[in-house]
Chain A
Amino acid sequence: MSMLNKLMLSAAALGASSAAFAGNGAVADEFKWMTFTVFGVIIAITMAITFWAARTTHTTSEFYAAGRSVSGIQNGWAIAGDYLSAASFLGIAGLISLYGYDGFMYSVGWLVAYITVLLVIAEPCRNIGKYTMGDILAFRNDPKKTKTVAALSTITVSTFYLTAQMVGGGVLIKTLIGIDYEISVIGVGILMLAYVVFGGMKATTWVQITKAVLLVTASIILVIMVWAPYGFSLPGYLQAVVGDADVQKQVAKLLGDKAATMTPEELGQRFLEPGLFLKNPIDQISLGLALVLGTAGMPHILMRFFTVPTAQAARTSVIWAMGIIGGFYVLTLFLGTGAAMLVGPDKIAAVDAGGNMAGPLLAQFLGGGENSLLGNFMLAFVAAVAFATIVAVVAGLVLAAASAMAHDIYVGVIRGDHATPKEQVVAARVASVIVGVIAITVGILAKGQNVAHLVALAFAVAASSNLPAVFLTLYWKKCNTTGIILGMIVGTVTAIGLVMISPNMTYPKAVIASANKVLSGEPAVPAKEAAPAVERSSFMCELFAMEGCVLAKPAQAAAAEKPAKPGAAEKLAGLNARLPTLETDLAKAATPELKATVEADLAKVKKDIAAVEKAKAKAEGDLAKFEGQTTSIMGLEKPFFLLKNPGLISIPLGFLLVIFGSLFTRDKRAEEMWDELYVRQNTGINAEAASAH
């Protein structure tokens, strides 16, 4: 009974707070009630799920692994729900809406990653594992040592990913419906804690399934609405996209000077060609490696394979997950290009510079636009799906971190595997609360911080530390404790270290320079003569900013002189000076047509003024924030490591060190246990069974 009360209380607190703190957002005030109604319905459904799940969540197997009673298909949906974070759901559609082809290309790696999961990780993990990655590593190695490093790595990866999700979620909810950032973070945290603490893995699984179904349904409806007018013809639809004036304008903006010689048709076509967003192929390969190998080392994804009864069900679940995740990314091609064509990249970027609002704004447009009831209902629905997405992903991550803390560290290391079943469940719940509170606190502290690098970092650490250890212990007889500890520590430290000196961090000098450009304008650039292509001095120079490095540059055509650009104050003065003239014109306008033209001009000038003022305020804010600073938190003026993703270096290093560490020491027990591990992972003999109910 008290549990029910607590659930009700947290739900009520969230409802009350959201009503009280509603400010500005993409949803207009008069339609907010709809958003809150849809939010309320989703919260009510998930709370009912939690209440139902809580009745059968008593043992550790039930808490961590839903009693191993989740079917393959259910688990497939849950994996999709766990994996399709707001970043991939809103972010990729946004990238496509702003940059076309490159956004779509970016989405491919997220699916291909599951081939690794399917072929080498899912089934062996199900056959060998119990609740955590630490269990797999401890199978034939020193349990205390490997569980400790496995837990540390799990908590590191989960915390990075969790912080990115909390901050991203807080910003997202604020942009969508204007709820204060802190309130959003606390709300998400409390809801997620309710699912995890009371309902354990069973509630988390069903919240993820619910969210995945909502997400896929919403996307299919939107895509049908976007694509149907073209009779579901791919060339016909894309012809309309490349012929759209907004799309052509966006490409021209991205290409700058190069666009001058291109026809509108060429500009539109360029939207479907690579190179508008991803410029550095080596960086992409590095990111690709981190995705393809990192997903299989993500603790919250690994954990999902302990919830199914057999290895066959684990296999089925990856197949379903690949179908759902891949299908979803194909849909985002239409969501992204549709938003670019119908809403317009300008308008999307005005609400959120990263393009995150492309999907929600497309929904609003398709429903009838800003002032229509249906349009706002659809926006509300998509906003609520985004909210469910954040909560579901965060719940999975908290459960993974909590299991590492309670099962690996407390039960395995501190209590030496001698804790009573009851004690274990209590430890699991306490750990969930601790992780949840940390997530909320870090989320609030990280407000306004640059967290984009944290997702890259989470995947890089998973790929450089977790995957080499898990993979080699499963497939290489000589792999042992020393190798695992060495590889995991060096993999993690290298990945984190490289990101800390990479372009992902904030470099005050660059921020101050660009803020000054906004405020005081740019001087004229003299005409340039054509320059031949420059070869890079060495491959290492692509990776590190070393002395004497010459970076590769393509041949450049001669460029005409560029005029000086005015600063913000000058721009504002110019725009404001136009206002009185336009207003007198408006008063004097004789015909309704003329009046309408002048009104449109006036509206445009006012919009421009607002945009310049916004940019000016941001530049001034940046100047104040970084005043007197010249270096990043690592003491660098500019990045030393030039890739955004460290995978290219840290992943091979992680593998190599597991191998070296294992070869330099001999562990007889690890080798003796090899037969058992290998037979068990391939046959499922002695695997953890499903619980009775």
Chain B
Amino acid sequence: MSSSNFNWAVIDADPKFQALHRKKTFFLWGLMVFSIIYYFLLPIGAAYYQELFKTKVWGVVNFGLLFALSEFVVAWVIAFVYSKKANAQFDAMAQEIINDVNSGRI
């Protein structure tokens, strides 16, 4: 772990890095908390809201089944949203910091 070439504290304190850190923290935690809450709605609903889960909405297909299927869709949407954001924004921000480091600006 050769760490002597870089001054990590300076990079860490750089406004660009701090901006990346704030954006990422907010975005990742938001998605993480949302996904965990949405996931636990399934076992909780299946246990305590059985009448709702048994309600038929599409032929014999009931709310519970659609909700379970929605868990898959929501997981995929979260993955998609995150990868869009990371590819478009986080990667570019990180690249700028790397360029600054390599060019000696930081």
Contact = CB atoms under 8 A, between A and B. Distances in A.
Interface of A: 101-102, 104-105, 108-109, 111-112, 114-116, 118-120, 139, 234-236, 238-239, 242, 269, 272-275, 278, 281, 284-285, 288, 292, 312, 315-316, 318-319, 322-323, 326, 329-330, 673, 675-676, 678-680, 682-686
B50 A114 contact: no
Closest 3 CB pairs of A and B: A235-B59, A281-B47, A274-B46
Contacts of A285: 40, 43-44
Contact of A284 (B17, B43, B50): B43
B75 A114 contact: yes
14 contacts: A108-B72, A111-B72, A111-B75, A115-B35, A115-B75, A238-B59, A242-B60, A272-B64, A673-B3, A675-B11, A678-B21, A682-B17, A682-B20, A682-B21
Contacts of B79: 114-115, 118, 318-319, 322-323
A120 B56 CA distance: 38
Given A119-B28, A281-B47, A315-B83, A272 B75 contact: no
B92 to A, nearest CB: 12
Given A118-B82, A235-B59, A682-B20, A105 B43 contact: yes
Nearest to A310: B91
Most chain B CB neighbours (cut-off 10 Å) among A116, A236, A272, A679: A679
A119 B76 contact: no
B11 A679 contact: yes
Given A269-B60, A284-B47, 10 more contacts: A108-B68, A112-B39, A115-B35, A272-B65, A275-B46, A315-B87, A319-B80, A322-B76, A675-B8, A676-B6
Contacts of B20: 682
Contacts of A326: 72, 75-76
Most chain A CB neighbours (cut-off 10 Å) among B20, B39, B59: B39
Interface in B68-94: 68-69, 71-72, 75-76, 78-80, 82-83, 86-87, 91, 94
Contact of A274 (B8, B11, B35, B50): B50
Interface in B32-62: 32, 35-36, 39-40, 42-44, 46-48, 50, 53-54, 56, 58-62
B88 to A, nearest CB: 12
Contacts of B32: 115-116, 119-120
Nearest to B13: A675
A378 to B, nearest CB: 27
Given A105-B43, A115-B78, A682-B24, A319 B8 contact: no
A329 B75 CA distance: 13
B28 A120 contact: yes
Interface of B: 1-3, 6, 8-9, 11-12, 17, 20-21, 24, 28, 31-32, 35-36, 39-40, 42-44, 46-48, 50, 53-54, 56, 58-62, 64-65, 68-69, 71-72, 75-76, 78-80, 82-83, 86-87, 91, 94, 97-98, 101
B50 A330 contact: no
A288 B53 contact: no
Contacts of A269: 56, 60, 62
A65 to B, nearest CB: 17
A322 to B, nearest CB: 5
Nearest to B95: A683
B68 A272 contact: no
B42 to A, nearest CB: 6
A7 B32 CA distance: 46
B64 A274 contact: yes
B3 A108 contact: no
B43 A281 contact: yes
A682 B46 CA distance: 39
Most chain A CB neighbours (cut-off 10 Å) among B32, B71, B78: B71
Given A273-B50, A274-B50, A675-B8, A682 B94 contact: yes
Contact of A238 (B36, B61, B72, B98): B61
A183 to B, nearest CB: 39
Contacts of A675: 8-9, 11-12
B12 A312 contact: no
Nearest to B9: A675
B6 A685 contact: yes
Contacts of A318: 79
A109 B46 CA distance: 14
Contacts of A119: 28, 31-32, 82
A234 B60 CA distance: 9
A288 B39 contact: yes
Contacts of A284: 43, 47
A115 B71 CA distance: 12
B90 to A, nearest CB: 8
Contacts of A239: 59-60
Nearest to B43: A284
Given A105-B46, A315-B86, A326-B75, A678 B12 contact: yes
A272 B63 CA distance: 10
Contacts of A109: 39
A686 B69 CA distance: 42
Most chain B CB neighbours (cut-off 10 Å) among A111, A118, A312, A315: A118
A116 B79 CA distance: 10
Given A111-B75, A675-B8, A101 B65 contact: yes
B53 to A, nearest CB: 6
